[in-house]
Amino acid sequence: MNRGTQFATTLLAWLGAAGAAWAAGADLGQAEKQPTNWTAITMFAIFVVATLFITKWAAARTKSAADFYTAGGGITGFQNGLAIAGDYMSAASFLGISAAVMVGGFDGLIYSIGFLVGWPVVTFLLAERLRNLGKFTFADVAAFRFGQAPVRVFAASGTLVVVAFYLIAQMVGAGQLIKLLFGLEYWIAVVIVGALMMVYVLFGGMTATTWVQIIKACLLLGGATFMAVMVLWNFGFSPEAMFAKAVDVKTGLATAAGKAPDAAAKEGFSIMGPGGFIKDPISAISFGMALMFGTAGLPHILMRFFTVPNAKEARKSVFWATTWIGYFYVLTFIIGFGAITFVLTNPQFLDAKGGLLGGGNMAAVHLANAVGGNVFLGFISAVAFATILAVVAGLTLSGASAVSHDLYATVVKRGKADGASELKVSRVTTVALGIVAVLLGIAFEKQNIAFMVSLAFAIAASANFPVLLMSVLWKDCTTRGAVIGGFLGLVSSVVLTVVSPAVWEATLGNPKGSALFPYASPALFSMIIGFVGIWLFSVLDQSPRAQQDRAGFQAQQVRSETGIGASTAATH
């Protein structure tokens, strides 16, 4: 048995025939419980205490609904860029991508690039217009000139479905990770995450959430930078030397596994080029579309654009977000190669069978120990936990605002709800979401949740994004078209995911080859269904409402382009 066999088998199953398993960004697998790590727990406790002080400060400033949803619109572009990055870089992408690079080398890079390329599209087509048209949620934008109730019901459904899948993935990931890093029981970890996120959102609203995300982004970027610099420093800052050593290590592993010298050399060198990640072009394109356009349809990300005072700051915030996230993926790539050279060669980090102690996703964590010792290991573990908190807080806030602002205030109360009662509903929803998230997190402990994050991206790309784009840019879009097309995109992306190999075979346990939909991601098809649905039902729509919808386009466009009439920052 060569070292790494155990995790390699796990990860091979994970990379699987279906690339969808690659979207397993959030799947941390079944983790083994580790001895209690007091350094990590102490560092995490410091983070929690600091964030609770911030929450207390934020609570004093959170009086109106605008404070709760958008921090009063007073966040700067640079701060918001960091917060978006903090919202987007999950613990799973840190641990998952560095582990993927350790196993597959270049393939891990291909995977991470997919998560970055959506950001320019958001910048060019949506960011400024979103800021000019919206107030609290993306439904404000999608429903701007349309019949409020139907579009809001659609947008709230799109939001809650995306948030639910994303949240379950994060909760299960959190439980596994904390079990792994801190040596706590799974359920305790899930309850801690649920309780803290409720406290942040409940009392501190968007202000606390934003600062938790900013701090976490700084800690994660700082920690990852330190690791990458230490790795490169060991190779005299020569990437070639690092790559050469990594190829060497991989070749040695293949030889130890009984490969002939030629085959071993070939296998060692395979990390330097594309491997099995992209099998068929259709899956590759479809998965790429889910990541690219899903980014532009994630409700918790879109919501962040309303926290800045104007379109200029909105635009700047995406630029900073893109920069930090791109930089982060470069770091994870170096960290992955560092793990090959420092972790796979050190018996201290390997179990009896040669696998990584604690499972495949521990690559970055062991590397932290290798380059920075026990204290830095504690720091990185605490950062990973903090990362999950920041992401779940953003998700919860977004789900709560969909219920209170879109469903309660606009649909139930027909726009006549007062701020105080709207705020109350969002707080009740926050508690409900927190409890549901904890229960689902516990219920899904043993489930294969690899598909959930990719499903969330596919739904966002096929339902939220088409409706948003068409309502903002296409004059002839109507209420009926947007709602029917949006739901078609939503339903088709869910159904096609369920009958794809990753869920039908890998999760539901049906025989191999029985999946009706052969590709890794539904986005290529469900996005077309969504867009064509919106177009067709808008063109066919001759109702009086449709005429009103089309007539409203000019006023909407003037506001979206110039910002005249856009909601302004609350004064404190």
Residues at the site binding another protein, with contacts judged by CB under 8 A: 106, 109-110, 113, 116-117, 119-121, 123-125, 128, 239-240, 243-244, 247, 269-270, 272-275, 277-278, 280-281, 284-285, 288, 292, 312, 315-316, 318-319, 322-323, 326, 329-330, 333, 554-555, 557-559, 561-565
The answer to whether 471 touches 482, Cβ cutoff 8 Å, is yes
DSSP state for residue 446 in the 8-state scheme: T
Q: Least distance (Å) from another protein to the CB of residue 144?
A: 12
Q: In Å, what is the CA distance from 231 to each residue of 112, 164, 225, 255, 332?
A: 20, 38, 10, 25, 11
The answer to whether 107 touches 100, Cβ cutoff 8 Å, is yes
Q: Which is nearer to another protein, 236 or 347 (CB)?
A: 236
The answer to whether 393 touches 209, Cβ cutoff 8 Å, is yes
Burial 55-65, CB ≥16 within 10 A → b, else e: beebbebbbbb
Q: Which is nearer to another protein, 241 or 256 (CB)?
A: 241
Q: Which is nearer to another protein, 51 or 322 (CB)?
A: 322
Q: Which is nearer to another protein, 70 or 270 (CB)?
A: 270
Q: Which is nearer to another protein, 182 or 324 (CB)?
A: 324
Q: Least distance (Å) from another protein to the CB of residue 401?
A: 24
Q: Least distance (Å) from another protein to the CB of residue 308?
A: 13
Q: Which is nearer to another protein, 14 or 333 (CB)?
A: 333
Q: Which is nearer to another protein, 410 or 560 (CB)?
A: 560
d(CA 348, CA 327): 30
Q: Least distance (Å) from another protein to the CB of residue 160?
A: 29
Q: Which is nearer to another protein, 87 or 107 (CB)?
A: 107
Q: Least distance (Å) from another protein to the CB of residue 284?
A: 5
The answer to whether 122 touches 295, Cβ cutoff 8 Å, is yes
Written in H, E and C, the secondary structure of 329-394 is HHHHHHHHHHHHHHCCCCHHHECCCCCECCCHHHHHHHHHHHHHHHHHHHHHHHHHHHHHHHHHHH
Q: Least distance (Å) from another protein to the CB of residue 110?
A: 6
Query: What single string gives the DSSP state of each residue in 46-57?
Result: HHHHHHHHHHHH
d(CA 518, CA 279): 12
DSSP bridge pairs for 350: 356
Q: Least distance (Å) from another protein to the CB of residue 518?
A: 15
Q: Least distance (Å) from another protein to the CB of residue 125?
A: 6
Q: How far is CA 286 from the centre of its chain?
A: 18
Q: Which is nearer to another protein, 18 or 168 (CB)?
A: 18
Q: Least distance (Å) from another protein to the CB of residue 156?
A: 26
Q: Least distance (Å) from another protein to the CB of residue 280?
A: 8
Q: Which helix (H) or strand (E) holds 486?
A: helix 479-498
Q: In Å, what is the CA distance from 543 to each residue of 143, 376, 463, 501, 519?
A: 17, 64, 23, 42, 39
Q: Least distance (Å) from another protein to the CB of residue 412?
A: 27
Q: Which is nearer to another protein, 331 or 392 (CB)?
A: 331
The answer to whether 105 touches 337, Cβ cutoff 8 Å, is yes
d(CA 86, CA 176): 21
Question: CB under 8 Å to 508, separation ≥6 — which residues?
Answer: none
Q: Least distance (Å) from another protein to the CB of residue 435?
A: 39
The answer to whether 216 touches 389, Cβ cutoff 8 Å, is yes
Q: Which is nearer to another protein, 125 or 491 (CB)?
A: 125
Q: Which is nearer to another protein, 102 or 196 (CB)?
A: 102
Structure tokens at 102: 């350790």
d(CA 86, CA 219): 10
Q: In Å, what is the CA distance from 462 to each residue of 84, 296, 483?
A: 22, 11, 13
